[in-house]
Structure 1
Amino acid sequence: MIDSVKLDQPGEGRLAHAPSHHPGVPRAKVGVVVANLGTPDATDYWSMRRYLSEFLSDKRVVDYANWKWQPLLQLIILTKRPFSSGKAYRSIWNTEKDESPLLTITRAQTEKLTERLKALYGDSVDVDFCMRYGNPSTKSVLNRMKEKGCERIVFFPLYPQYGSPTTATANDEAFRALMKMKWQPSIRTVPAYFDQPSYIQALANSVTDVYRQLETRPTKLVASYHGVPERYLLEGDPYHCQCQKTTRLLREALGFGKEEVDTAFQSQFGPEKWVGPATVEHVASLARQGHKHIAIMSPAFSSDCVETLEEIKEEIHDSFMAAGGETFSYIPCLNDRDDHIAALVDVINNELSGWLPKP
């Protein structure tokens, strides 16, 4: 059990032997914060513009000099992009809860993680989630954790493969929040978990579950990852290599042959050369080669979002069908599947080592 200050009574109270005017101190515990990419608060123009401006102003996402990029972003891109992005979000929006599917799913994942970790550690662990862009913000959640007595925090970006525009920027935002605190909690950031056996098995299970429901077996499984400029790979970002290894480990877990599984990359943006092949072009090529039934999945996304529910299920689907494809089977992200939650708990347990006794 972690060391904690001695209080006169459980919960928040006065330090033993402290003067009467000493501020209350909550009982020490460990926080677990899962971090996802982000979401606009709504789909209207100004909500989308605020979200896109925050996202596309991040130097981890677009690392061009401000004098070159910001005028282009603010005066040209953000005059048009909020309309098209808003339309994309409206096509997948959770109208019942008036929020994006990413927010709905991340909340569901957090609730299940809370249940699992409470069963293992009782009240010693507090679980919450934040978004790198949009709400709930990283700063607000880390501040709330600190106020609740979390003197140690496991910060968990939900990206299986490490990427500078994903994992690194989430960690950056957490560190910026710590810079404003008088009393910083100790913090551990979770490394890439793309080769975690239970994560790979959950991916394999998701494929098997969908294939079992299909009348005919797809002749090709496409693992589509979010793309990055090729320059990132050449500058040392391991994301591309970790994506390739994820596909190999998944293929081996499924027992599929090399010819049955392809790796591709989606969501290209800007004039630079990106890692490839581009998913939207690759699926069309597969159709022209005679693959009339393919399945596609997104192992880099822990939750279904606009890149999967709109880009894959609409734009990439349409590209395949227009090129002569006949059946396009989408395999959902792992979301709040029980085997996915179990895999995330495995990762968290490893990071809690030395802070809490093994369950």
Structure 2
Amino acid sequence: MFSKGTLFIAQQCPRYVKFSSASKPKTAILMLNMGGPQHIDQVHDYLHRIMTDRDVIQFPFAQNVIGEWIAKRRTPEVQKKYQDIGGGSPILKWTRLQGDLLCKKLDKEHPETAPHKPYVGFRYASPFTEEALEELKKDGVERAIVFSQYPQYSCATTGSSLNVVYKYFRDNGFPDGLKLSIIDRWSVNPLLAQCFAHLIRKELALLPDDVRKEAIILFSAHSLPLKAVNRGDSYPSEVGCTVQLVMWDLQYCNPYQLVFQSKVGPLPWLGPFTDESVKSYAKQGKKAILVVPIAFVNEHIETLHELDIELIEDAKKAGIEIIRRVPAPNDHPLFIEALVDLVKHHLRSKLPVSPKLINRCPHCDSPRCIESKQWFAQNCKL
């Protein structure tokens, strides 16, 4: 049984309204995310960028050689997955829509920094972060808010994207008079939790009466190498915070569990894993599962294929009678309110960069991490 977060979303994603060029933007909202290939022929380069990024995965030697080998080996398999969901990722359409809705509301609710303009900066696919930074620099904005679209911070996601921002300004110069600030994490935003809770309630209501209260709410987040966790990455605790806030809003109505997906390679990763957990619950006699993509704010390959196709097939084979997937927040009104709330609070906080971001992990040994954090500490201002 499929929920509304299925292939239909990829095919029917709403159109977005482009920013009007009639008025010069005053404030840029740079929305950072991983991105995804728009076409099948972009898959290899997308994988190559991921596998050679040492902020994401660290091979003991020959990073570029091993990364290229893995990317080449995995390309046909991943191309097939994108073909299954319509030929490309919908993440760009969703991010543009979210940015347009965010800035439209900000213009009304925070006119002192208007006009606001959204810029999409992806890490591994076009439009790249460097392209977005070039655009906002040409637009001559007075203020740029770097807004991570990963609610829960990780060095592999937000950290990697921020390193690109640092490198760009280091190599191209920092514009005189530009006010740069960062929203780096927002795992405990109440409106984000309310949005997920609302989506969960809707899906629970569709379950048969006899299994509704016993259905397990399975919160699934992207996994992380244990090496990164042991280094001090805050991601697991931040995802856990979001889960607890959502369940608090739901008044702990159902049994629940946080699990992790998308493990790559033979090294140990953070678990328990989503697919293995579903199979284990089937062995325990569980009949109904509701899957929640708790670390994803819009639909992409990891929701539309890994959860909607692969996981559902595995669950059916294992004996799970009912499995539904809660949609990602996408353009849900509460989610857009969360984005607006975060930016408004950020502008009024007078805190251009959080102390947590500037502080390094206890066992961090990355020279680029040291450099970027020092640079942001010196150059961010509201």
TM range (shorter): 0.7 to 0.9
**In the alignment, is the contact (CA less than 8 A) between 2:51 and 2:70 conserved in 1?**
no
**In the alignment, is the contact (CA less than 8 A) between 2:110 and 2:344 conserved in 1?**
no
Answering whether residue 82 of structure 2 is matched by residue 89 of structure 1, we say yes
Shift of 1:345: 0.8
**In the alignment, is the contact (CA less than 8 A) between 1:92 and 1:101 conserved in 2?**
no
Identify which of 41, 66, 77 aligns with 1:72.
66
Shift of 1:107: 1.5
- In structure 1, stretches of 5+ residues that fail to align are 1-10, 13-25
**In the alignment, is the contact (CA less than 8 A) between 1:40 and 1:48 conserved in 2?**
yes
Shift of 1:202: 0.9
Distance 1:205 1:211 in 2: 10
**In the alignment, is the contact (CA less than 8 A) between 1:48 and 1:86 conserved in 2?**
yes
Answering whether residue 114 of structure 2 is matched by residue 119 of structure 1, we say no
Identify which of 224, 245, 250 aligns with 2:246.
250
Answering whether residue 275 of structure 2 is matched by residue 284 of structure 1, we say no
Shift of 1:142: 1.4
TM-score by length of 1: 0.85
Instruction: Report the equivalent of 1:307.
Output: 302
Name the amino acid aligned to 2:63: W
* Bigger mean CA offset, 116-125 vs 274-283: 116-125
Name the amino acid aligned to 1:71: V
* Bigger mean CA offset, 26-35 vs 150-159: 26-35
**In the alignment, is the contact (CA less than 8 A) between 1:154 and 1:351 conserved in 2?**
no
Superposition CA RMSD, Å: 2.1
Name the amino acid aligned to 2:109: L
Identify which of 86, 93, 109 aligns with 1:104.
93
Q: Any residues of structure 2 matched to 1:308-327 within 5 Å, and which?
A: 308-327=303-322
Instruction: Report the equivalent of 1:210.
Output: 203
Identify which of 28, 37, 41 aligns with 1:40.
37
- In structure 2, stretches of 5+ residues that fail to align are 1-20, 351-382
Distance 1:205 1:272 in 2: 37
Shift of 1:338: 0.8
Shift of 1:354: 6.5
The structure number with the bigger radius of gyration is 1
Return closer, same or farther for 1:219/1:353 CA change in 2, 3 Å cut-off: same
Instruction: Report the equivalent of 1:187.
Output: 180
Identify which of 227, 230, 235 aligns with 2:226.
230
Identify which of 203, 207, 215 aligns with 1:219.
215
**In the alignment, is the contact (CA less than 8 A) between 2:38 and 2:90 conserved in 1?**
no
Instruction: Report the equivalent of 2:336.
Output: 341
**In the alignment, is the contact (CA less than 8 A) between 1:88 and 1:310 conserved in 2?**
yes
Distance 2:258 2:25 in 1: 45
Task: Tell me the alpha carbon deviations over residues 184-226 of structure 1, each in whole angstroms, 9 at most, x when there is no partner.
Answer: 3332111311111111111111111222233341520000110
SS at match of 2:339: helix
SS at match of 1:333: coil
Distance 1:204 1:306 in 2: 23
Answering whether residue 123 of structure 2 is matched by residue 128 of structure 1, we say no
**In the alignment, is the contact (CA less than 8 A) between 2:36 and 2:300 conserved in 1?**
no
Residue identity over aligned pairs, in percent, reads: 27
Shift of 1:121: 3.7
SS at match of 1:180: helix
Q: Which has the higher contact order (CA 8 A, sep 6+)?
A: 2
Task: Tell me the alpha carbon deviations over residues 54-95 of structure 1, each in whole angstroms, 9 at most, x when there is no partner.
Answer: 121111111225x43322222x323321101111111113x6
Identify which of 51, 65, 86 aligns with 1:56.
51
Return closer, same or farther for 1:199/1:55 CA change in 2, 3 Å cut-off: same
